Amino acid sequence: MSANVQQLREEISRLQAELADREAALPAHSVKPHQFMVIESLEDEIDRKQKALNDLQRAGDELSREDGNGKRGAGSRQSHVFWFSDDFE
């Protein structure tokens, strides 16, 4: 899974650099519609990949919390038993 995380990070970094280059290349006046479309497309792709990266990291976090049996929850929780007595002397 870490290879996928690393790959997504690299792709996001590459897309962000391309976005910065495109934004820097915009003229001060008379921006063409296709220039905005390319920038919006890059922003959308960065958002999609960032969400995928977040999902992978969340899944990795959940896996790291599992106990040795691959089970979550019941095997990793401690139960607390309280004993109450009416004998207060």
Tens-digit pLDDT profile for residues 57-82: 988 887 777 645 555 554 445 545 55
Tens-digit pLDDT profile for residues 6-43: 999 999 999 999 999 999 999 989 999 999 999 999 99
User: Residue 86 — very low, low, confident or very high, per pLDDT cuts 50/70/90?
Assistant: low
Domain assignments of the chain as residue spans, ordered by start: 2-57
Other CB atoms within 10 Å distance of the CB of residue 43? 14
The predicted structure's pLDDT at residue 70: 52
Q: What is the dihedral of CA 20, 25, 26, 28, to 10 degrees?
A: 120
The predicted structure's pLDDT at residue 3: 83
